[in-house]
Each structure stands twice: as C-alpha cells, then as structure tokens.
Structure 1
C-alpha cells in the first residue's frame, strides 16, 4: 500500500481546482449555491493591513473588516500566531466547567476592566450568536432565582442578532425568521432608531418620545411581569447603521428599571473600538445589565465571544444551590483566549481605539460628498461604522420595490463593487444600503479609496437606473 499523500500534496493547487473542490464540498454561509455556477467563486488567500488578495493575485480593500470584525487588520498573524503556539505548547485545551485555566481568567479580568462600570463577570462563548443565546438564558434564570417567571425578550425591527434558534427568534428580520418557524417563544419587536423617513420637522426629542412610547406599549401589551430582557445594539447594523437619538438609551434604561427588566446591549459588532470607544455602551451611557460581544474581541483571529454580566445579575447566582445551567465546550478555549489577549494588547499598544475616535470625523467627511449622487439618499453611522441608503431619486427619496432592490444589489452592485476591488456590503435587510466598516487601522488613504470606488460604481448604478 502506498503512503497517504501529505496535506500539502493532497489539497488542490490551482485556482480552478480550488473552486471546483469548493463547489463539490464546501457549503458556503448565506449564499445561493447556484450563483457560482454563473460566475467564479472568490477565493481569498492572503491579507495585509486593510487589504486582501485572492488566489488569482487580485487585490481588494476590505471595507467591511471581514464581517465588522478585523479591528487590527491583517498584518499581525505572526505575532498572534506566536501567542497561539505558546499556548498550544503549554495547554492546548481545557474547559471552563467547574474548573478554569489561566488564559480564561486573565482574559475575563482584562475584558471586565474595559467594560462599563458595574460589569464585573465574563462568560465565554464561541461567537456572537452563542453570546445572545447565553444572555437570554441567564436573563430567564436570573428572574427564576428571584421567584419570578419571566421568559420573553424584546428586540427591534430589522435588527440582526444571529442565526441560532434563540438568537434568530430575537432577530427582527422576517425573511430570515420565516423559513425556520416556529421559533422560540416569545419575542416582541419595537421600532428601531432609523430617522431617514420620519416626518419632516420632527425634533429629536419628539422622535425619542415616540420610540420610548412604542417600547413601553410593547412591554405593557406583552405583560410586564413576563418580559425578561430588552436587547438593543448601540448602533443597529441591519438596515444600515442606525444611531440613537438624544435621550433614547436613558429612557430605555428607565423603562427597564421601572418594569424590572434586564437590559442587554448587543455589542457583537460595536464592541472593541468600532465606535471609537471600547464599548458602545460607554459611548452612549447605556448602563446595561448584560453585554454580548465577539468579533472584535479577537479581531476575528480566533472564534471567541463573551457575555459580560453585571454585578446585579450575578448576585442571585452566588446563593447556595444556585447555578447557571448552561455551558459551551469551547467557551473560553485556551488558544482563543490567548489570541484575544494578544489582540487587546495590540489594540492598546497601537492606540487603535483612540485612532477611531480621532479619525471618525474625517472618515464621515470623506463619505459625505457621496450624498450628491442621485442614487444616495442618506449617510448614517459613527466611528468606523457607516451606511449609505440608496434611493431611486435623491430629490424625492423614492425607494425601490423588492424586485428593483434585488436587481440593484444582487444583480449589479455586489458583483461590481467586488470587481472594482472594494469589499463592502450591498444589503437589503430593510431598505437597500451599502455598509462600510473597514479595519480600525484605516487611514485617509483608505477613506479616499473607499469613497472614490463607491462614487464610480454608484454612478454606474444611477446611470443604469436612468
């Protein structure tokens, strides 16, 4: 019998062989399999700084940071790899079930030290959806330990919180939810903070009051003593970087306190610098009881997430006989924790969070002239987290039908932007938007390149519409 081929000789070598193997064996996430019968599957092979390169040698500016995740860019593989290798030599794996290991302990202390006041405890997961699931479960168990039966969650329209069954139940996107119904009971949804199509002349204070009235009505209609948790992103991703109006989160906090409900800030995207602060909860003074995080925790160099837990929530679990009856095999994996610690070290050493705070106005100012295009109706966001809403005509802000939106985004913009060397997201969760969220190391050169490519491609799109 001949020896088995080594991994290096067994793997497909050429771009064509890689694509054929992917078609045969690799099931892609959120993708139409038939699409890549019509056009070549992109295969990304290398990364450096804010840029990626495919197997054909074509270079792309990653204006989406992978998936809103690669905070430190793509050039720290060697340093982070050394941290991972050292951990593998010391302890490749152990659980955080009735025991602990040094890296999880160190990372929990580090993250708690960066979190808003009152957040003292960290429960590790493998990613963001698991963190959301854990938040809902700990909220239910917290109330049970206090003698209350509360199980419902309240999220916002169009918000995305993950695709595991519990997180999907909270997600406010019917097109994602419907194929998997019935989902976990019971979730209510309230209006999000999108101001673009609100009545002319409405003040920010009036908009805030409208949103808080809507939330209170939902709480009361659900039955306040059945609601366990309200979960909101500091800046909502799906729909296009919806920022909160003045007084909104203070009002949400007051309502949660009045009705005895836990407030969870979903910071899977906004945590670890994306908004120019370590957490969006600090920037907007949300004062949450729970924070979900992932992505930027390791800059996506490893799969790790975390649920951050306030002291008030933790207290009932310290009583004799109390337990959080939930666990994840790879939660706080030693190698992933070592990578996350090194990522935070790099974020601090290179002042990357401060860089976002210092450069966010310049980034916005570079994108703002795109509002002159007839296809662009709105620019919104903050930090390094923006979206352009697309319209038929910026003079009237007329929107697109579902068919027109699909044709614009999926049949033209997504492929054309990629062809032009820019990775961002043409997204139809809600009204059509282009989402822009580069690595947090981006400079004016990258801002100019993003804006220039968007101007070229969006002008082409406007011409097609005309």
Structure 2
C-alpha cells in the first residue's frame, strides 16, 4: 500500500541504486522505527532486520539512550571542529588511539572520512603518495577482484568491474586490473582443496603483476569476505599469500573492511580470521553501529613513516571527516560492544547459524551456500540447463516471489537480481539463537516454495 510518506518520497527523494522513475504502485518501503533486531514500517508491522540496515546496525536498535547520552555530551562540549591544518579535537584523537588498540598489528594511524567509499578513495591516494615519496611515481595501477564492490565515488568505482556501474560515467579514474575472486562454485572438483585453490589464485595474481610490470602496481584491494557475489570466503593461505606477493613486488595490500569490520565475522576485523596482514584497512558502517555516518582509513606504521616525512603534505581531506559527534558515537559503540561481549555472541552462535544455512543445500533452487560469522548468502540455481534463470523464472521468483514472501514472513533480507541471483543475510550482532533460527526457518520456507514453483 502506498502511504503519504511513500508518495512524497517518490516525488522528492532520489534513492541510492534505485530506478527512481519506475518504482511502481508499491512505492517506497518506509521504515518508521526500530527496537532490538527489529524495524517497524508505517503501519507498525514488525520485521526482523536481517541485513542490519545494510551491514551497519551491529547493535540493532536498542542502545539509543546510551548513544544519545554520548552524543548530547559531545554536542554540549563541542559541536564541530575540523581535522585540518594542525588542528584536532579530543573525540577524534581518543578514537584514533582506541582503534590503534584493536586493529591488526603494525597499523597505528587513522585518517577519518564520512563513509566507506571515501575511505577507499583515501586508501588509493595514500598509496599513490607513499610510492611517489619513495621515488616510484610510476606505480599508478591497482589490482582488484572480479565482481567486487568498493564504493561509488569515481575513484572507488575504478575497483569494480561492473559495466552497468562504470560505463554511465566514462573511463575509470584509476587503471585497474582484475583477478579472480575466491568463489569456488562451478569450478572443477580439485579446487575444493584449499592448497590447490590458493596456489591457483595466487599464481593468477602474480601473472597479472608480471604482465603489467611490478613497478606499475600501487596496491591490491580485497575484502576478507567478498560481499558482492554473495559472502565469498577465502581458502586457507590466501591472505598470507597476498602478503607475500605485496612484499615481493612492493605494492601495498589493502583490506576493505567496510562490511566485515567491527564484529561481523566474530572478530574486530574480519581479516584477523584469515591471517590478513594488510598495510591499510578501510572501515565504515559498523564503526558507529549505524548511529552516525563515519568512515576511516587505518594506515600501517611503515606507510605512515613515509607520508609523514618532514615537509611532506598529505594534501587530501574531508570537511566532516572525524566529526566530533560521529567520533563520540563511535567511541561509545566500541565501549558497548566490548562491555556487552558482542563479539563473543557472534563467536558463540555463528556455528549454529552456519549449520542452519548449510541445511538449505538440499532445496532444488539452492546452488551454493557460503559465509562466515553473521554474514551468509545462498546462491540460487534456475530453470536453464546451465543453472541460469529464464526471463520468466527470474521475474516470477527472484523479482517477485522470494522477496515478497520473505517480507510477508517478517524478514528483511537482500535478494540480488543479477546473473547469479542471491539471497543474503547479515543480522544484527546482538541476535540470539531463537531469532537466528527463525531467520533460517523463513528462508527455508521461502526457498521451498520457490523450488516448487520452479519445478512446475
């Protein structure tokens, strides 16, 4: 049903990643309020937020009073001061120190921004500055992985190989070479062996480096678990292998933790789960649990030593980067997560969630299930011989039945309508076992119905 607010949104609001001119009779889904792991629409209908508000709301929606207390204290003390021209403020300084205590070893510095794409842009500019100051200005290329997504600003967009996202805006700003991601679905059986798969992947990366010329590569960027394409986990040895290649050929290794950071995989940083030792880490989303916008680029000591040389200028910045309000909220968020043992909750329940998701594999519409922590995806198989979906089946199931039935059952999840359709969940990190079981139950019922429809 289209409400007054939904109609107003259609007239005046340009939504992200949305065909705004063809929303149809249903209009815009308006979320009015939230509590715990739930949100409520305009009619008061309650839904499980199975996507944590786009991977942001690690704490769900129950800590508003504590966050408001921290925000009010900060606003009464100092509403704004930029991190600019040898000037800073206590909240940003304290947050940078706090982050240095939980990030991977060797990373000690923070450059604040307002979101994930800005954090990635910053990583690129720091990498270029680092190499130029070291006398290697020819390192102007990046390596990214196929199907990856690192943001929509023109620089960050360069690290994505999706023509639908890139082509409307002309040639990419950064020359980027793409290598395989770590999705094994559809690969030969021998790739089920971690050592063989890792060796295959790293050999491909090295061949690209050598073909382009090691002296031209500035950085390689990758997510510990790749979001786009459906929670694609790495094989054992993959991240240590990337570290070895970075050391051998002199480029910087960047871990994009915008989604996987701050507990999503049961660790402060998802890369810790896979022995990643990056030079730079990008974060956003969960750093404030969605209570305020913030991004950050966390920089290793050996990189900072170069860009902080006397006389060197890091001529890059954002007016609202490290905003006092956002910094104060981030500090309180980290305090709550530690006090309430939120990471322990993920570690204790992730096995049960993984088992529940794995049990969906018997459904005919399921091609693959993958993920880690509170971050899982189901890749769907269609009615075509190659596993793809015909236009009719895609429209009936991926566009209509699956997202509609999920919502009717009270679950907000992500359904990708792409070449390989996916259903993805990333519930709040405060979710308990009964709630996670209910999420799996709703998905099972929905995909069972979709399987039956596919068979007809």
Q: Same fold (TM over 0.5)?
A: yes
Change (3 A) 1:424 1:226: same
Q: Is the aligned partner of 1:122 residue 2:110?
A: yes
1:196-253 alpha-carbon deviations (Å, 9 max, x no partner): 1110233221111110011111111222111100001000000011111011111111
Q: Is the aligned partner of 1:312 residue 2:302?
A: yes
- How far residue 405 of structure 1 moved from its aligned partner, in angstroms, is 3.9
**Cα separation, 2, equivalents of 1:324 and 1:224:** 25
- How far residue 311 of structure 1 moved from its aligned partner, in angstroms, is 0.3
TM-score, scaled relative to structure 1: 0.94
The answer to whether the Cα contact below 8 Å between 1:374 and 1:392 also exists between their aligned partners in 2 is: no
SS of alignment partner, residue 386 of structure 1: strand
The answer to whether the Cα contact below 8 Å between 1:124 and 1:304 also exists between their aligned partners in 2 is: yes
**Cα separation, 2, equivalents of 1:430 and 1:143:** 38
Listed as ranges, the gaps of 5+ residues in structure 1 are 1-13
In the TM superposition, 1:219-234 aligns within 5 A as: 219-234=209-224
Q: Is the aligned partner of 1:71 residue 2:30?
A: no
Q: Is the aligned partner of 1:103 residue 2:91?
A: yes
Aligned with 1:369 (options 359, 363, 387): 359
In the TM superposition, 1:420-435 aligns within 5 A as: 420-429=409-418, 431-435=420-424
In the TM superposition, 1:26-425 aligns within 5 A as: 26-97=13-84, 98-149=86-137, 150-202=139-191, 203-392=193-382, 398-400=387-389, 404-405=393-394, 407-425=396-414
SS of alignment partner, residue 189 of structure 1: strand
SS of alignment partner, residue 158 of structure 2: helix
Q: Is the aligned partner of 1:23 residue 2:10?
A: yes
**Cα separation, 2, equivalents of 1:114 and 1:20:** 45
Change (3 A) 1:258 1:406: farther
* 27-36 or 375-384, larger mean C-alpha shift: 27-36
The answer to whether the Cα contact below 8 Å between 1:294 and 1:304 also exists between their aligned partners in 2 is: yes
- How far residue 140 of structure 1 moved from its aligned partner, in angstroms, is 0.3
Runs of 4+ in 1 over 6 A off after TM superposition: none
**Cα separation, 2, equivalents of 1:138 and 1:376:** 42
Question: Partner residue of 1:6?
Answer: none
Change (3 A) 1:363 1:397: farther
The answer to whether the Cα contact below 8 Å between 2:236 and 2:274 also exists between their aligned partners in 1 is: no
Q: Is the aligned partner of 1:447 residue 2:439?
A: no
- How far residue 112 of structure 1 moved from its aligned partner, in angstroms, is 1.0
SS of alignment partner, residue 463 of structure 1: helix
**Cα separation, 2, equivalents of 1:270 and 1:100:** 28
The answer to whether the Cα contact below 8 Å between 2:383 and 2:389 also exists between their aligned partners in 1 is: no
**Cα separation, 1, equivalents of 2:194 and 2:60:** 36
**Cα separation, 1, equivalents of 2:386 and 2:346:** 31
- How far residue 429 of structure 1 moved from its aligned partner, in angstroms, is 4.7
**Cα separation, 2, equivalents of 1:143 and 1:310:** 14
The alignment yields a C-alpha RMSD, in angstroms, of 1.7
**Cα separation, 1, equivalents of 2:123 and 2:82:** 20
**Cα separation, 2, equivalents of 1:407 and 1:155:** 34
**Cα separation, 2, equivalents of 1:90 and 1:266:** 33
1:245-301 alpha-carbon deviations (Å, 9 max, x no partner): 011111111111110000000000000000111001222111100000001100111
- How far residue 398 of structure 1 moved from its aligned partner, in angstroms, is 2.2
**Cα separation, 2, equivalents of 1:222 and 1:308:** 28
**Cα separation, 2, equivalents of 1:448 and 1:393:** 29
Paired residues, number: 452
- How far residue 402 of structure 1 moved from its aligned partner, in angstroms, is 6.8
